[in-house]
Amino acid sequence: MWRYGLTILIAVLAISGIGAYYAIGRLNHLPEYKLETVQGEPEEGAAVSLSGSYLGDMRSEPLNVNIEGSIYRSEDKVFRKRMMDARSWFYNQPDIQKLLKDHKSFMRGKGYETGFYRDEELVIYADVTTKGLNSDAQKSVLRLSLLSEDSGKVTDFEQTILEMPDNGQLSIQDVQRVDDEAHLLFRKYIDRGITEELVVYVFDIGTGEQLRHSTLASWSDKNKYKSDAQTARVIASDYISAPQDMIFVILNGKEYTYSYRSGLLTELTDPLWHKALGTGMAHSLQQDNFYYSEVRQDRIVLSRYNFITKEQETSYVTLTAEQLGVGVIKSALIRSNRVYLLADDKAGIPGAAVLDLANGELLYAGRAVEVGDEGKTGAELSENLRLLNINIVEKLAD
């Protein structure tokens, strides 16, 4: 036995050293936090995730905090999680999660979130690929897939919708259904993007035949390398596949609404967007209403515009930080029929609040606390924890 002492020693060292580190050595490395309910229903805060950093002695550790606890990003540096989080921007969307749950085989090979439409009867998916790019044979081929919710039957159509001498490239922005027609909104890039257009193609749902197409707007920027991020912006529904007749378009500093049913692009005479520039604005398009908020450190103001009645309700809700029971309001997000606020309480501890979008009623207020160490003061807590962003993570109910 003693002859093999060296081998046994190395084997014991190998197992015990690594085992002890991962079992014991890593314990109590980083503090755990969670979002504690101060007021209201915890369910309202379930979707809230605050992100920021824990400030250690020599380095900071990025983390997310929600009502269940905290997750440090360093713990997510695992090969499996990195693989699973590939395309997380697509798979984390609640309506995509629902589609995957209901129609997983239909979702295979489909990855452009703006290409989906879903109602009680039908799921439509559209995407465009450019073949023979920059050659004389360049063409844009549309793939249109239709799934019947009742029968589960899938119908696929594929057709060329652009070809030379038209060398434009198409990027799908939105898909909507109007009766038996599928309306596809594209951004078209011409001459390597120097000229851009917003175009709508209309197809028959039953036959896949292209019925017509129209150009909503066209603009050029010869100084292409200047930032053109604000040249044209399409704001559709928060839930990308939801039926939504009206969309909001910002074009060269002007604001428009577009109706798929009427095909009309209408300029807003009383612009909404620019009123809140510089104050940190959140916005949301929900059915017939466009909501936007103006956020300042001491108050939040909600306004809305109804596309049908053309009625603009400016400041229909105004709430001060005092009324909300917080010290500083930092930012806001609008999702579904809720307004989510990132706010520090009066002691400077980061937290969140959730308001009802319709009337501003405070539904939830929470603050970050350290788990298992309630003795810490607000100053001690805020010294090491910086939560600077609020995210909404909606999970599908089982």
Partner 1 sequence: MNRYLKLVHMEVHRFRWVLAALMAITAICQISALIVTVLTELSRREERLSQNIGNSSAPVPAKDPLTFEWVMMITQQWFSLPILLSIAVLGLYAFIIWYRDWIGRSTFIYRLLMLPAARSNIYFAKITAFLLFVFGLVSFQLVLLPIEQLIFKLVLPADLRADSHIVEVISINQALAMLIPRGFEQFLYSYGLGTIAILTIFTAVLLERSYRRLGILYGLLYLGACGLAVVFPILFLGVGTPGSSFFPEEIFVIVLVMCALVSCVSVWLGMRLLAGKITV
* Site of interaction with partner 1 (CB under 8 A): 3-4, 6-7, 10-11, 13-18, 20-22, 25-26, 28-30, 56-59, 74-75, 77-80, 83-87, 90-91, 108-112, 127
| Helix (H) or strand (E) run with residue 122 in it | strand 122-131
- Per the DSSP assignment, residues forming a β-bridge with 140 are 130, 162
C-beta of 280: minimal distance to partner 1 in Å? 31
C-beta of 97: minimal distance to partner 1 in Å? 12
- Per the DSSP assignment, residues forming a β-bridge with 290 are 285, 305
d(CA 380, CA 372): 14
Task: Choose between 81 and 275: whose C-beta lies nearer to partner 1.
Answer: 81
The single residue listed with the structure tokens 């600077």 is: 388
- Of 250, 251, 332, 238, give the one whose Cα is nearest residue 287: 238
Task: Choose between 80 and 222: whose C-beta lies nearer to partner 1.
Answer: 80
What one-letter code names the amino acid at 171?
S
Task: Choose between 112 and 316: whose C-beta lies nearer to partner 1.
Answer: 112
C-beta of 73: minimal distance to partner 1 in Å? 11
Q: How far is CA 237 from CA 92, 247, 266, 288, in A?
A: 16, 8, 18, 10
- Of 358, 324, 322, 359, give the one whose Cα is nearest residue 341: 324
C-beta of 197: minimal distance to partner 1 in Å? 23
- Of 300, 222, 307, 212, give the one whose Cα is nearest residue 257: 307
d(CA 48, CA 176): 30
C-beta of 243: minimal distance to partner 1 in Å? 23
Task: Choose between 77 and 153: whose C-beta lies nearer to partner 1.
Answer: 77
C-beta of 3: minimal distance to partner 1 in Å? 7
Task: Choose between 5 and 375: whose C-beta lies nearer to partner 1.
Answer: 5
Task: Choose between 28 and 269: whose C-beta lies nearer to partner 1.
Answer: 28
C-beta of 56: minimal distance to partner 1 in Å? 6
d(CA 205, CA 153): 13
Asked whether the beta carbons of 102 and 120 are under 8 A apart, the reply is no
Task: Choose between 61 and 345: whose C-beta lies nearer to partner 1.
Answer: 61
Q: How many residues does the chain have?
A: 398
Task: Look at residue 129 and give its three-state secondary structure.
Answer: strand
